[in-house]
Structure 1
Amino acid sequence: MHFSIQGLLFKKQNKQEQFLKKIKKREEITDTIELEIAEYLTKISSYNLTETATRRIRGIHSMINDLERIGDIYYQMSKTFERMQNEGTMLNEDSMEGIRKMLNLIHEAIRNVRDNLEKDSENIDLEKAMEIENAINDYQDKLLEYHYNQLENKVYSN
């Protein structure tokens, strides 16, 4: 979904409909996967489990909820973009560049999560994850400040 959102925002306009369809389909898939995994985890939880296993199940449950929520966010972004297109609203180059930079930071976070999922829990580098999260949070603050300045200066069109 991440690459589809980037394609939607920054690729040729004749492919936008394809990206919108992909994002919608993938959001539906994340919903289905969340339900199936949650059902499975519920079944497993009915057995007599160790404290470690119970903690892992809670962690997996938290991850699938987070992944489904991320799918929802990407889908909502695509719907907002689609609405803006239909209304003829465009963001200026600086705004689009800000979005591009934020998506690059998010992609770095995704890569880090994938790397960490391949490791045993004791080998995960939480410091790197925290650095990336802090960079995202700092850039989010910067984008919000930029947005408020744009609003104050009436840069956005109606």
Structure 2
Amino acid sequence: MKFQFSFQKVLDFKEKEKDLAQEEFGTIKLQQLELQEQIEELESVKDKFFNQYDEVDRKSIWEILQLQQEIDHVSVQKKRLENQSKKIFQEVEQKHQVLIEKTQEAKMWKQWKVKSKDSFQKQLERKEQGMLDEMAVLRYSRRI
């Protein structure tokens, strides 16, 4: 007799939900890392422009104004990315919570399956022991 978990489809569904939550969390985490890289890249560009701006004595007014516009543009882009980063951070936190919940649910169903299998094994062993006891009684009664 083979053990068959009566809620296997539910367990499979919970496993798929957990896997999906892991994928979503991984995707949003990757987006967060890419956004952070973009922010760091803009920071280095801004630093480069500031270094050029510091060399004012060798620049014309037109070049200084152009550098100022570039710095302002980079600052606006950085601000936009930082706002986007905050939103993604919130989404990462939300996806992480969902992942934790789905993992806990899947773990609960797995534990239930293990307990059910253990119970099934014990019941099977009791039946087997009962049959062996009955066989021993029958052998003993035939000897007498």
Q: TM-score range by the shorter chain?
A: 0.3 to 0.5
Look at both structures and tell me which one has the larger radius of gyration over its CA atoms: 2
Normalized against structure 1, the TM-score is what?
0.39
Normalized against structure 2, the TM-score is what?
0.43
With a CA cutoff of 8 Å and minimum separation of 6, indicate the structure with the bigger relative contact order: 2
Question: Is the helix fraction higher in 1 or 2?
Answer: 2
